[in-house]
Structure 1
Amino acid sequence: MNQRGKKDKSGGEGTDQPGKKVTPPGNADKEIESPEFPIPTVVPATGKGVRSITAPLVYTLWGPPLENGRVFLDDQGTIMAVTPRRQKVHFPVREEVVYTEGVLVPGFVNVHCHLELSHLAGVIPGGTGIGGFIGAINRRRGAPEEEMVQAARHAASSMYHSGTVAVGDISNTALTAPLKKESPMTWITFVESFGFHPSRAERALQQALAVWEVFASQGMAASIVPHSPYSVSDPLMRAIAELDQLHSSRLSLHNQESSEEDLFFRRGEGAIRAHLTENLGLDVSHWIPTGLSSLESTLPKLPASKPLLLIHNTFTTSTDLAFLRKIRTEAPTWLVLCPNSNLYIGGNLPPVPLFRREGVPLCLGTDSLASNHGLSLFDEVVTLHRFFPEIPAQELFTWACLNGARALGLSHRLGSLEAGKQPGLVLITPGQDNHDIFMPGSRLTRLA
């Protein structure tokens, strides 16, 4: 079994155009050799015993893929060592040996999710475009609290069992606080604030502060963040920025999810304007188009000293990236890709080849069940492989695991199979009819 589970010959180069409609390219078969793998220092085992889990291929993500590798874990899920199977390692405790057929990867990190929208699974049809989607969300937010909590619990459980170890979750309420507190996964909560009209800024901020206080008072990591460039007034954006300067927080912003966003900023027209005036009944007379893209218009308003997660980026251009590099020099900026959500809402994908060429740090999210058929991050990896087969599996898993952990400030213990970390461990087994982990029929088994 090679690095992909089988294939790599490119049947197409995907798309380099922001938001371009795409069709999946063909598949292929090219063997990739694993470089020599260094042996890490073994950490002394403690606890009741050690599990030794072997697999034909192990993606440690701190080094190249390891063929015929072993991962040693203690009873707490801490990585004790990662070695070739032939390497002799001795621990002064009982060792349980587990042989697997498949690929081992660290636990996945879902950088962008809306857990509290899980009750909307299957409710909103796909292909509505961003204006129709936002309108549908607003009309359906008022579900019974018990229904929302039950749906959120079920969604969180499905994420856990599909190998997710940490989630960057958007919250508009404190509804999910109790389940996050007791969850085996790590949660970073982004309390989202929005208010297009300046007159609503103070009220919107106070509402967000009340939600933030629920999470913070229970010792859970949380930040107050703006929803998007087009849904937050300048006074509210300034208030959020001033608040975030006072805390060790991370910022999250929905960015250029649709072409309508740039149209609204450049010319004050389009589906977003229609949503604000017709669906929400808002007065937009104060709005003055900037003549720039939404990203160029918004980045100067955000604290440059805070890490920033830009979500979606479906219509982000090379000009936007050049501006981002110019203005974001103090703290890291991560582009978070949610390909299945993009396909669900508008049938588009972000310009992944452009992002790779420009060396932009990438990580992955699922968005919500309102705009996705599931919350398995591996499904996002599969979709990217389907449309961009030229991307090595090592790189895709780095986005899904290590980069996600870095983006959420969790890479000291998650994201890679390194001695001393507790990153989780996921076995991906190909289906019976093929040897490709990215093809239908593959199974995920959480081992730690």
Structure 2
Amino acid sequence: MKLIKNGRVIDPKTKFDDVADILIDGAKIVKIGQDLAVDVATAPEVEVIDATGKVVAPGLIDVHVHFREPGQTHKEDIHTGSLSAARGGFTTVVMMANTNPTVSDISTLSEVLASSSHENINVKTVATITDKFDGQTLTDFSGLLAAGAVGFSDDGIPFTDAGKVRLAMQEAAKYDVLLSLHEEDPQLTGVLGINDGEISHQCGVIGAPTVSEYSMVARDAMLALDTQARVHFQHLSAGQSVDVVRFAKALGAKITAEVTPQHFSITESAILSHGTNAKLNPPLRRESDITKLIAGLQDGTIDVIATDHAPHTHDEKNQEITKAPSGMTGLETSLSLGLTHLVAQGHLTLMALLEKMTINPAQLYRFDTGYLAENGPADLVIFDADNRYEVQDDFASKASNTPFIGENLLGKIAYTICDGEIVYKA
């Protein structure tokens, strides 16, 4: 048993926000209340955690991570990715399927799930929408769902064939399963990973313009409206994309959207100071885009904050801008970036931030987690929201490709608890 005492308990599902105690027995919360006590004579094994001055919230949920297993475990693997997630306060993650081989068949899916089953957090995975990302041949949705896939995504490879997108949505609607889409028209982009504009031109390249994103969001939002499939737009970066999603939601499309912490925290100018560690796909944009992304978070157009945790080795990133891969690690700085750039700036309340990182992502995949309730899952994070620290190159992840090393951010994780067990302690 564990007794968490005197923390500021925040539950975005019920909007509860008060100082309280939480009693955990096994994998369940058995009591939430004031001045809880346990008879040590009958329960001598109880562990008391003093959360005075700290926030106690549902364990964070990230619906967009890359753990690189199988095939690219020199960058990350499911174990080190899970350690990184726990250190960042996450108790549930959803892996993308762009591994080698891709998660396109039941054999590969079973291999990935077998590896995931050994971890101390909840590690889920999507399967690919099309076979080996060919953009044409739909995978066996029925079989993959039965084998344990939680959804489908060709993340990293945008769909160029609108007819195939519509077929995929029709299949997804048949099974009432979530499709997650990476929207970036390759016919409208130059060098991926850097916004087309003043900064890219200083670097001597033509980059990826915002229209390459929002034009595909517009197309697929209308296809989602037509098919009534549940469609999730990944890592929005362009302000116009927010406008399109807001419009399509008002029409009745069953769509949701996510934003990464990096896209609401820093602009394209980070390329000049942090080089390829700020090369992301989609790229960092302008202040005007950040303003619209934040507005989308505020009014609910953007439902979820997800990291797009994308580890790469130092050697892979230590190349010229046109050759280095896009992506950054994000699990261990995600909450801090939200606290620093959204809550401390008055853009979101702490309750609203946690909503985007707990109950909302849980509801995307209909996971029974992301909330605090008696007889509910004992998945929690305890953190000091006011503790300011400097980001160090000491991640649990194998990788450290992030532009935030050396930055001073708010929010230190004290404990991460999953299924009633401490999986990270500072």
The 1:270/1:433 distance shift into structure 2, 3 A limit, reads: closer
Which amino acid in the other structure matches residue 324 of structure 1? A
Which amino acid in the other structure matches residue 58 of structure 2? P
Residue from 56, 62, 67 that aligns with 1:115: 67
Residue from 204, 225, 228 that aligns with 1:305: 228
Once the two structures are TM-superposed, the CA of residue 228 in structure 1 deviates from its matched residue by: 7.2
Q: Deviations over 1:57-101 (max 9, x none)?
A: 11122444544310111122x11122133x679999527343233
Structure 1 unaligned blocks of 5 or more: 1-49, 118-143, 276-288
CA distance in 2, matches of 1:92, 1:249: 49
RMSD, aligned α-carbons: 4.1
3-state DSSP class of the match of 1:246? helix
Which amino acid in the other structure matches residue 258 of structure 2? V
Q: Is the 8 A contact 1:72 1:80 kept in 2?
A: yes
Q: Which residue of 2 aligns with 1:271?
A: 190
3-state DSSP class of the match of 2:221? helix
Once the two structures are TM-superposed, the CA of residue 299 in structure 1 deviates from its matched residue by: 2.0
CA distance in 1, matches of 2:72, 2:302: 39
Once the two structures are TM-superposed, the CA of residue 389 in structure 1 deviates from its matched residue by: 3.4
Count of residue correspondences: 334
Q: Which residue of 2 aligns with 1:415?
A: 370
Which amino acid in the other structure matches residue 308 of structure 1? V
Residue from 365, 370, 392 that aligns with 2:306: 365
TM-score between the two structures when normalised by the length of structure 2: 0.65
Q: Which residue of 1 aligns with 2:80?
A: 154
Which amino acid in the other structure matches residue 126 of structure 2? F
1:222 aligns with 2:150: yes
- The higher-RCO structure (CA 8 Å, 6+ apart) is 1
The 1:393/1:430 distance shift into structure 2, 3 A limit, reads: closer
1:241 aligns with 2:169: yes
Which amino acid in the other structure matches residue 419 of structure 1? E
Once the two structures are TM-superposed, the CA of residue 189 in structure 1 deviates from its matched residue by: 2.5
The 1:269/1:157 distance shift into structure 2, 3 A limit, reads: closer
Which amino acid in the other structure matches residue 168 of structure 1? V
Structure number with larger C-alpha Rg: 1
Q: Is the 8 A contact 1:165 1:186 kept in 2?
A: yes
Q: Is the 8 A contact 1:229 1:294 kept in 2?
A: no
Q: Deviations over 1:288-307 (max 9, x none)?
A: x99x8322222233364333
1:80 aligns with 2:30: yes
Q: Which residue of 1 aligns with 2:350?
A: 393
The 1:294/1:65 distance shift into structure 2, 3 A limit, reads: same
Structure 2 unaligned blocks of 5 or more: 195-210, 267-277, 312-326, 390-407, 421-426
Once the two structures are TM-superposed, the CA of residue 322 in structure 1 deviates from its matched residue by: 4.4
1:335 aligns with 2:257: yes
CA distance in 1, matches of 2:161, 2:55: 47
Q: Which residue of 1 aligns with 2:249?
A: 325
TM-score between the two structures when normalised by the length of structure 1: 0.62
CA distance in 2, matches of 1:179, 1:309: 26
Once the two structures are TM-superposed, the CA of residue 248 in structure 1 deviates from its matched residue by: 3.4
1:295 aligns with 2:247: no
Once the two structures are TM-superposed, the CA of residue 388 in structure 1 deviates from its matched residue by: 4.2
Q: Is the 8 A contact 1:104 1:426 kept in 2?
A: yes
Q: Which residue of 1 aligns with 2:93?
A: 167
Residue from 289, 293, 309 that aligns with 1:352: 293
Once the two structures are TM-superposed, the CA of residue 111 in structure 1 deviates from its matched residue by: 1.6
CA distance in 2, matches of 1:358, 1:158: 31
The 1:295/1:147 distance shift into structure 2, 3 A limit, reads: closer
Which amino acid in the other structure matches residue 190 of structure 2? A
CA distance in 2, matches of 1:62, 1:92: 35
